[in-house]
Amino acid sequence: MIAAGFSGDVERARAALSSPQAELRSAGLGALERCGALTVAQLCVAMEDHDPSVRRRAMELGATVRGRGTKTTLITAAMQRLSDPEPLVVDAVCWLLGEHRARAAVLALIDVSANHDDARCREAAVAALGAIGDPGGLDAILARLEDRPQIRRRVVVALSSFSGPRVDAALERCAVDHDWQVRQAVELLGR
């Protein structure tokens, strides 16, 4: 199936989307993307797949797709998966929303950053809020300074999209964080 993407066999790649095997459905999505033939409609169907690996692959590929429906239909479908039971899918949704700089998702991402049980999801939501750079997400990013070290490191990176006294104070606090990687992130930011 992977060869279909490199050989331009769009029909074979499309046929894989209805395979009973999740691996083939995922490979079909990737092949269509490589052929430049992956549509928003196909991604939206894959986002509802019963297998989480297919849903995650749809999110990963959805972050790279451009064109008709990506700012509306795709974003709406992705946002509905922020409550997915599989944390790795939620992680990928956050990445998609950040890559598309989906301002419509800011409130939903704030909720994930504050309330998700899985630290990876909270971290991904902070990263997405930073990528989007909407001022409405700043308080949620700053609130994560009380979270785990890997999330505090992500906060430092997310803050690079913002400026002002509150951001400066947060970075000063991170510069003396007890976790060396948080301190290093501030140094690398050069602020």
- Number of neighbouring beta carbons within 10 Å of residue 69: 16
| 14, 73: one domain | no
Helix (H) or strand (E) holding 19: none
| 57, 33: one domain | no
- Number of neighbouring beta carbons within 10 Å of residue 67: 10
What is the residue range of 26's domain? Answer: 1-38
pTM of the model: 0.91
Instruction: Give the integer Cα–Cα distance in Å for 131 and 121.
Output: 15
| 64, 155: one domain | yes
Domain at 46, CATH number: 1.25.10.10
pLDDT tens for each residue of 69-110: 888 999 999 999 999 999 999 999 999 999 999 999 999 999
Q: Is pLDDT at 189 greater than 60 in this prediction?
A: yes
Taken in order 117, 118, 123, 129, the sign of the CA dihedral is negative
| 15, 62: one domain | no
Give 44's contacts (C-beta < 8 A, 6+ positions apart). 73, 74, 77
Q: Which residue has the higher pLDDT, 86 or 190?
A: 86
| 121, 164: one domain | yes
Q: State how many domains the chain has.
A: 2
pLDDT confidence bin for 10, thresholds 50/70/90: confident
What pLDDT, on a 0 to 100 scale, did the predictor assign at position 191?
A: 64
| 138, 166: one domain | yes
| 84, 169: one domain | yes
| 16, 43: one domain | no
